Amino acid sequence: MGKICSVLTTNLVVLLLFSLSVAAQTSALTAASQHAVFPKGQKATAGNFTGTVWVQPLVDNDSVYNLISGSVTFEPGARTNWHIHPTGQILMITEGAGYHQIKGQPRELIRKGEVVKCPPNVPHWHGASSGSSMTHIYMIPNTEKGIVQWMQPVSEEEYNRSK
């Protein structure tokens, strides 16, 4: 009788530990999926990017605010083409690490929590590092003067060159 009780108790303890473990894993998954402030959005169509890029619009352009904003996620190695914003752009990095480069200047490392300004009418690119994805919120002001002029892709050689 004592032996049966002991077996039952052991089974109950194992069952309890298993339940706790499942609960912990579920809560970790929930925390991970809730970690991002904004949704990842839709996969960007190829053409202005190299690699896989996700875009979530946040503020649609209109004649009251004249500002457009969205969250962009670059998978490792992904980046924009070279491009120009007639009125400049502000980037707020919300996850991961990547690069921002203004033509003629060294490639700049950008990381979660940093804010980068890109002056008007300057060719530049931004994207993830090769070992990490990167998410940023972009803001383009004064959109009545234009939003973006796309240029050529950033080559592997340009992407890997630190200067």
List interacting residues with Mn ion (CB under 5 A): 89
Closest residue to Mn ion, based on beta-carbon distance? 89
Q: Which is nearer to Mn ion, 89 or 143 (CB)?
A: 89
Q: Which is nearer to Mn ion, 30 or 152 (CB)?
A: 152
Task: Output the smallest distance, CB 145 to Mn ion, in A.
Answer: 15
| Contact criterion met (CB below 8 Å) for 128 and 78 | yes
- Of 85, 99, 95, give the one whose Cα is nearest residue 140: 85
Q: Which is nearer to Mn ion, 4 or 51 (CB)?
A: 51
Task: Output the smallest distance, CB 24 to Mn ion, in A.
Answer: 41
Cα gap 16→61, rounded to integer Å? 54
Task: Output the smallest distance, CB 28 to Mn ion, in A.
Answer: 35
Q: Which is nearer to Mn ion, 9 or 149 (CB)?
A: 149
Task: Output the smallest distance, CB 12 to Mn ion, in A.
Answer: 59
Cα gap 81→18, rounded to integer Å? 50
Q: Which phi-psi region, left, alpha or beta, contains residue 29 (left: φ > 0; alpha: ψ -120 to 50)?
A: alpha
Cα gap 121→134, rounded to integer Å? 24
Cα gap 140→128, rounded to integer Å? 20
